[in-house]
A and B are shown apart, each in its own frame.
Chain A
């Protein structure tokens, strides 16, 4: 009987081991850590937030029907050559002729509503959804939560942008890494069809099997008060640190 029992015990252990090897992704006991470029035990200043925002502006990924531009920028081109400086923001004016600049690091998505042509320029009306529309100074002084950012600092704008003028044709650029001054052409804005959605995402974040991974360098607004909110979405497995 003892021999039979030990046989049964061995069989159950074997089955258990087989079960272990076919398990789904196991928790590691460390939980999830918020993805943020900041440390909980370091000061949050306008300078540090401003630096992160600058990194964020230059490291966004734009995905649209015609392709994908990493570390996206905007520049006027002539004969497929970039003229002047690559911009990391959408610059234009509202219907009321007010000048408006929306940095890439706050744009969630945008689309072209319509275009108009005049003898001097072609303009496109962009509908832009942005979050969080807050300055580094406001962020550092008010220490909002994530819920507050979503509630108070998410806005939609309509902005006229010149897509063709005496400088050339407005084009999308991309570069191999953030901060690289040399950019390549990624597409012309005029080739993007009206109503087609262009989505911005953070270059240093990837979503795999329902979990976020990456350093979150572009998450300039993810200061401790923001990530302390349970609604904050960007968390990674602790063992991925």
Chain B
């Protein structure tokens, strides 16, 4: 058994040891401050911290991310719809352009049986003029359809200039050659007109009426432009789709 004196000494030693440990711990603490991350982690790993983090994630970050995803999807969808719509309109414009090109051929076919120097009667002349007028009206309507669709092409100014050049050349061809040719065929037998000049002009028209290379060239120019532009749009369509 320890005496009281011995007991007191042990207590004193234990007390001293505890004081030393405490002093050393405080010294270590002073030397090495606890890191911010450690503190945050400490707070975050607490019950309240976990509750707050959960709240932010479900209340703000997840909806924002979902909205952003939706926006991207919406933009892609709009782009796809636009490209699809535009491509459709360009393809339709090409079809209408091809139809517009057939009117000059129809007019040439109309006068083909009369491509000689034999005069035509007044009845024949009037009938041919009526048919020509009907074809011209249809041609103008068809041209107007094409004009309205040129806005869908990427370079409207270029498309409209090329189309205008073609229409200008075909209108000139019809009015200065076809209409004049028909009139001379009818009037050549009339007395009182300048027969020498009319005969010369008629012969020149017969020789030159098949000369349509400029018209064909201008038709090809607008057609080439349309085809190239449609091809570019088709490539864009594939990109927009996937």
Q: Tell me the A residues contacting B by CB distance below 8 Å.
A: 1, 4-5, 7-9, 11-12, 16, 19-20, 23-24, 26-34, 40-46, 140-143, 224-225, 227-228, 230, 235, 238
Q: Tell me the B residues contacting A by CB distance below 8 Å.
A: 74, 77-78, 81-82, 85, 129, 140-144, 146-147, 150-151, 156-157, 160, 163-164, 167-172, 175-177, 179-180, 182-183, 187, 190, 193-194, 196-198, 200-201, 204-205, 208, 214
Instruction: Output the nearest chain A residue to B166 by Cβ-Cβ distance.
Output: A31
Q: Which of A1, A31, A142 contacts B172 (CB 8 A)?
A: A31
Q: How far does the alpha carbon of A46 sit from the alpha carbon of B197 in the complex, in Å?
A: 10
Q: Which of B77, B146, B175, B182 has the most CB of A within 10 A?
A: B175
Q: How near does chain B come to A233, taking the closest CB pair, in angstroms?
A: 12
Q: How far does the alpha carbon of A233 sit from the alpha carbon of B190 in the complex, in Å?
A: 32
Q: How far does the alpha carbon of A31 sit from the alpha carbon of B142 in the complex, in Å?
A: 13
Is there an interface contact between A20 and B151, defined as CB atoms closer than 8 Å?
Answer: yes
Is there an interface contact between B172 and A235, defined as CB atoms closer than 8 Å?
Answer: yes
Q: Which residues of B contact A5 (CB under 8 A)?
A: 77-78, 81
Q: How far does the alpha carbon of A30 sit from the alpha carbon of B163 in the complex, in Å?
A: 11
Q: Which residues of B contact A8 (CB under 8 A)?
A: 74, 77-78, 81-82
Is there an interface contact between A33 and B175, defined as CB atoms closer than 8 Å?
Answer: yes
Instruction: Output the nearest chain A residue to B157 by Cβ-Cβ distance.
Output: A24
Instruction: Output the nearest chain A residue to B159 by Cβ-Cβ distance.
Output: A27
Is there an interface contact between B82 and A224, defined as CB atoms closer than 8 Å?
Answer: no
Q: How far does the alpha carbon of A46 sit from the alpha carbon of B176 in the complex, in Å?
A: 20
Is there an interface contact between B172 and A40, defined as CB atoms closer than 8 Å?
Answer: no
Q: How near does chain B come to A22, taking the closest CB pair, in angstroms?
A: 10
Q: How far does the alpha carbon of A238 sit from the alpha carbon of B141 in the complex, in Å?
A: 14
Q: Which residues of A contact B78 (CB under 8 A)?
A: 4-5, 7-8, 11-12
Instruction: Output the nearest chain A residue to B139 by Cβ-Cβ distance.
Output: A29
Is there an interface contact between B194 and A30, defined as CB atoms closer than 8 Å?
Answer: no
Q: Which residues of B contact A11 (CB under 8 A)?
A: 78
Instruction: Output the nearest chain A residue to B200 by Cβ-Cβ distance.
Output: A143
Is there an interface contact between A29 and B140, defined as CB atoms closer than 8 Å?
Answer: yes
Q: Which of A19, A29, A43, A46 contacts B143 (CB 8 A)?
A: A29
Is there an interface contact between B194 and A141, defined as CB atoms closer than 8 Å?
Answer: yes
Q: Which residues of B contact A1 (CB under 8 A)?
A: 77
Q: How near does chain B come to A105, taking the closest CB pair, in angstroms?
A: 20
Is there an interface contact between A230 and B214, defined as CB atoms closer than 8 Å?
Answer: yes
Q: Which of B167, B180, B197 contacts A140 (CB 8 A)?
A: B197
Q: How far does the alpha carbon of A198 sit from the alpha carbon of B129 in the complex, in Å?
A: 45
Q: How near does chain A come to B56, taking the closest CB pair, in angstroms?
A: 28
Q: Which residues of A contact B171 (CB under 8 A)?
A: 30-33, 238
Is there an interface contact between B168 and A235, defined as CB atoms closer than 8 Å?
Answer: yes
Instruction: Output the nearest chain B residue to A1 by Cβ-Cβ distance.
Output: B77
Interface pairs (21), CB distance under 8 Å:
A5-B78, A9-B85, A11-B78, A12-B78, A20-B151, A24-B157, A24-B160, A26-B147, A27-B167, A29-B142, A29-B144, A29-B146, A30-B171, A31-B143, A31-B170, A33-B171, A33-B175, A227-B176, A228-B172, A228-B205, A235-B168
